Amino acid sequence: MTKNLKNKKIAVLGLGVEGLSSARFLQEKGVSVWLLDKKEKEDIDQEFLSTAEAIGCQFTFGENYLENLSQFEVIVRSPGVKRSLPELVAAEKAGVVITSQTKLFFDLCPGQIIGVTGTKGKGTTATLIFEMLKVLGRDVYLGGNIGTPPFEFLSQLTDQSWVVLELSSFQLQDLDKSPHIAVMLMVTSDHLDHHGSLEEYVEAKRNILRHQTPEDFAILNRDYPASNESDIHTEGKLFFVTRERTTTDQGVFIKENALWMSMQGQEWKIIDTDNIALVGKHNWENAAAAAMAATLAGAAKEDIVQVLRTFTGLKHRLEFVRDVNGVRYYDDSFATTPESVIAAIEAFTEPKVLILGGSVKDSDFTELAKVIHASGSIRAIIGIGDEWERIKSALKTENVKQSILLIEGASTMQQVVQAAAKITEPGDVVLLSPGCASFDMFANYKDRGEQFEKEVLLLA
Query: Which residues of the chain carry a pLDDT beneath 50?
Result: 191-192, 195
- The answer to whether the CB of 373 falls within 8 A of the CB of 396 is no
pLDDT of the residue at 117 = 97
Q: Give, in words, the CATH class of 109-310.
A: alpha beta
Alpha carbon distance 434, 416 (integer Å): 12
Residue 419 · residue 455 · CB < 8 Å = no
Kind and range of the H or E element at 103? Answer: helix 101-108
Write the single-letter amino acid at 395.
L
- CATH level 3 topology of 7-101: Rossmann fold (3.40.50)
Please answer whether residues 118 and 186 qualify as being in contact, where contact means their C-beta atoms are separated by less than 8 angstroms.
yes
Whole-angstrom Cα distance, residue 231 to residue 363?
Answer: 26
pLDDT in tens, 214-267: 999 999 999 999 999 999 999 999 999 999 988 878 999 999 999 999 998 999
The predicted-structure confidence for 283-335, as pLDDT tens digits, reads as follows: 999 999 999 999 999 999 999 999 999 999 999 999 999 999 999 999 999 99
Q: Per-domain residue ranges for the chain?
A: 7-101, 109-310, 319-458
Q: Find, among 197, 152, 203, the residue nearest to 174 by Cα.
A: 203
**Domain 319-458 homologous superfamily, CATH:** Mur ligase, C-terminal domain (3.90.190.20)
The three-class DSSP label of residue 9 is coil
Cα–Cα distance measured from residue 92 to residue 73, given in angstroms and rounded to the nearest whole number:
10
